[in-house]
Amino acid sequence: MRELKYNEAINEALKQALAKDDRIFLMGEDIGKYQGVFGVTAGLIDEFGEDRVMDIPISETSFGGIAAGAAMTGLKPIVEIMFMDFMTIASDGIFNHAGMLRYISGGQINIPVIFRTTCSAGGGSGCHHGQSLAAWAMHWPGLKIVVPSTPYDAKGLLNTAIEDENPILFIEDRSLYNTTGLVPEEYYTIPFGKAEIRREGDDITIVAIHRMVARSLSIAEEFAGKGISIEVIDPRTLFPMDKLAIINSIKKTGRLMIVEEGRKTNGVGSEISAVIAEEAIYYLQTPIIRVAAPMTPVPSSPPLESFYVPNEDNIRDAVNTLIA
């Protein structure tokens, strides 16, 4: 099995999908001749042409409606929204239309569209190019939400999304694009709603999202040397979410931490905490701890940005609180 970068794994999935299904086309800003701002669509316009790899104007307001309309006519658009922040502009078409048309039509209309977008702060890109807004998207019905943390998952989950006949929000952590991992060349899928236990443990459960998976694994390794066994769960998809995997883990450990880059207030961790409070509170030996970003805009200043994004020190401190 070869090693690929996270962005290369997504590129390969897109390439194989375009070759396999004539209904599929890509649309987005700078995805064609410019090869994508993060290199994800490199080489695709040369192989499949401008009719299937479309550079479109800077007009996110139109993205959702165009994609939903194309999907209604039998096509399968894959839309790149360069930064997740820009989804606020495209939100009417994505959430009010693509996400709800199947319900509104009584199940008569499928909307097989994928919205690919990026999250995560980095490089001083600031408050309009670095937010992690998965929790906001979770509030809207009709979309499946995917959060791959490895190159292997990025390709397999994107293949699953392409097979699906429902609208998908596929959130890529841009800080992971240059990370590498083993990725099969052949076609494979990963089921939605099935979490991956990245490390088994008996003392603490950590549910981590995107780049926080690697940071949590690093701390888990550190505490293993001190005799503390930490289980790290990667949900892979936020909707559907594998609640059972989290609950079964808590039955063993009695302690739960959720680590995400999104803001703590009303974040993904808030939803997971509420589920556990409703369905598994009697298994907890300590209060739940959430490690997340503060309730501020994403700073541009490198020192402030470093403080804003949860790091290993934050996770370490939270572990020490749980075992105190």
Taking the C-alpha atoms of residue 85 and residue 129, their distance in angstroms, rounded to an integer, is 6
Place of tokens 């290993």: 312
Q: Which pLDDT belongs to residue 67?
A: 92
Percent of the chain with pLDDT over 70: 100
Quote the tokens at residue 113: 């569209």
Q: Which pLDDT belongs to residue 15?
A: 98
Taking the C-alpha atoms of residue 80 and residue 31, their distance in angstroms, rounded to an integer, is 8
pLDDT greater than 90 at residue 248: yes
The string of DSSP letters for 163-189 reads: H-SS-EEEEEEGGGTT-EEEE-SS---
Q: Which pLDDT belongs to residue 147?
A: 98
Instruction: Tell me the per-residue pLDDT of 250-264, one tens digit each, with 9 for 90 and over.
Output: 999 999 999 999 999
The string of DSSP letters for 210-260 reads: TTHHHHHHHHHHHHHTTT--EEEEE-SEEES--HHHHHHHHHHHS-EEEEE
Quote the tokens at residue 312: 């290993």
pTM to 2 decimal places: 0.97
Question: Cis peptide before 77, with omega less than 30 degrees from 0?
Answer: no
Residue 107 near residue 143, CB atoms below 8 Å? no
Q: What are phi and psi of 161, to 5 degrees?
A: -60, -40
Q: Which pLDDT belongs to residue 32?
A: 93
Instruction: Tell me the per-residue pLDDT of 43-67, one tens digit each, with 9 for 90 and over.
Output: 999 999 999 999 998 888 888 889 9
Quote the tokens at residue 144: 């499946």
Q: Which pLDDT belongs to residue 62?
A: 87
Q: What residues contact 281, with CB distance under 8 A and at least 6 apart?
A: none
pLDDT confidence of 265, banded at 50, 70, 90?
very high
pLDDT confidence of 231, banded at 50, 70, 90?
very high
Give me the mean pLDDT over the 186-202 stretch: 98
Domains, the chain:
2-183 (3.40.50.970), 196-323 (3.40.50.920)
pLDDT greater than 90 at residue 324: no
| Residues acting as catalytic residues | 129
Using DSSP, state whether 115 is helix, strand or coil: strand
